[in-house]
Amino acid sequence: MELKREDLWSLEEYAAERESFRAMILKHKKSRQISLGPHATLYFEDRLTMKYQVQEMLRVERIFEPKEIEEELAAYNPLIPNGKNWKATFMIEYGDEEERRLALAKMGGIEETLWVQVGNGKKSYAITNEDMDRTRETKAAAVHFARFELSYRDIESIKQGGDLRFGLDHPSLATSVDLSSEERRALVADIDL
């Protein structure tokens, strides 16, 4: 469900709520981060994480005009899952800048190898970077936006307790990860069962 202006706090209200809201969001986000090995992470978004993003943008930019608030909502609402999909930021993370540069130079197309598997079903590859192309020839970007569409069969398997697995098929970071019960619970909350 999309965010509306009436779902947001005013700048003054947010100033009063920010500390406790931020602490709650940080805890909420922990079970929504799926590590795909030491250098790749999926950060799953939902309505609550997007409310936080919008509130922070309004705060930082000192936005209070209705038209400008609507523009922020229009930018962030597409990142909220619709009950039949998951939406995530896929990040390739290296602490050392030179190591990251060298690694990304070998990862062209990595975002096209990102997948989810529900139960014993087939891998379903993410739809990535709908806003723009982030890979150039053989070099990959460090940040990608992913949407995982779920079929009726996937949703039925999730209802029956089917396992969830995410992975990458790219040779430089090939991996698959089974979700913990806490991670699974967090993502299943996004699905209209």
pLDDT in tens, 42-67: 999 999 999 999 999 999 999 999 99
Whether the predicted pLDDT of 135 surpasses 80: no
pLDDT score at 137: 59
Where in the chain are the domains? Answer: 5-30+47-79, 85-188
Give yes or no for a contact between 136 and 94, defined as CB atoms under 8 angstroms apart. Answer: no
CB atoms inside a 10 Å sphere around CB 87: 22
Neighbouring residues of 166: CB distance < 8 A, sequence distance ≥ 6:
34, 36, 42, 114, 115, 116, 117, 176, 177, 179
| Degrees, nearest 5: CA angle 177-180-183 | 100
pLDDT score at 139: 78
Residue 176 identity (one-letter amino acid): S
| H-helix or E-strand spanning residue 159 | helix 152-159
Whether the predicted pLDDT of 18 surpasses 80: yes
Neighbouring residues of 87: CB distance < 8 A, sequence distance ≥ 6:
44, 45, 79, 80, 81, 145, 146, 147, 148
Distances (CA, A) of 39 to 130, 152, 158: 23, 32, 28
pLDDT tens per residue across span 144-163: 999 999 999 999 999 999 99
Whether the predicted pLDDT of 23 surpasses 70: yes
pTM equals 0.89
Give yes or no for a contact between 148 and 116, defined as CB atoms under 8 angstroms apart. Answer: yes
| 3-state DSSP assignment of residue 86 | strand
Q: What share of the chain is helix, strand, coil (3-state, %, to 5)?
A: 40, 25, 35
pLDDT tens per residue across span 101-123: 999 999 999 999 999 999 999 99
pLDDT score at 138: 66
